[in-house]
């Protein structure tokens, strides 16, 4: 299963960006979808996740500013990022876990998309 992320870029502080990630391949079902980020010199961290049942969790640092959503019919997950801050600058990665059509489990990462927030 392959993931393709898009939507990163350069934005001023206070601005907004929307990231999208689409899965392709022999997908039977996708359980968890999530966005992670990794800033220079730091470990990768969870930004937000959404389960197949719609349960959502966010990192404390983005609560109230970021919104994660998924489209099960299209196998996509989006991250709407508002009120961006310079500390949100990072490479953002999507991640999905699920089951293939051969009933094998999978966990896949997108290629990463750079978000740069200028002050």
Question: What is the predicted pLDDT for the residue at 84?
Answer: 98
Q: pLDDT grade, residue 91 (50/70/90)?
A: very high
pLDDT digits (tens, 9 = 90+) for 40-77: 999 999 999 999 999 999 999 999 999 999 999 999 99
pLDDT at 72: 95
Q: What is the mean pLDDT of residues 78-89?
A: 98
State the average pLDDT for the chain.
97
Q: What letter would DSSP give residue 2?
A: E
Which residue in 53, 48, 44 sits closest to 81, CA to CA?
Answer: 48
């Amino acid at each position: 299963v392959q993931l393709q992320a898009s939507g990163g870029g350069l934005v001023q502080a206070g601005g907004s960006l929307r990231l999208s990630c689409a899965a392709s391949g022999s997908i039977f079902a996708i359980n968890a979808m999530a966005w992670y980020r990794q800033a220079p010199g730091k470990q990768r961290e969870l930004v937000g996740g959404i389960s197949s049942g719609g349960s959502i969790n966010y990192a404390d640092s983005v609560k109230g500013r970021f919104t994660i959503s998924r489209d099960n019919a299209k196998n996509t997950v989006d991250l709407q990022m508002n009120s961006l801050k310079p500390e949100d600058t990072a490479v953002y990665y999507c991640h999905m876990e699920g089951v293939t059509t051969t009933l094998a489990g999978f966990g896949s990462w997108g290629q990463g998309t750079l978000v740069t927030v200028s002050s």
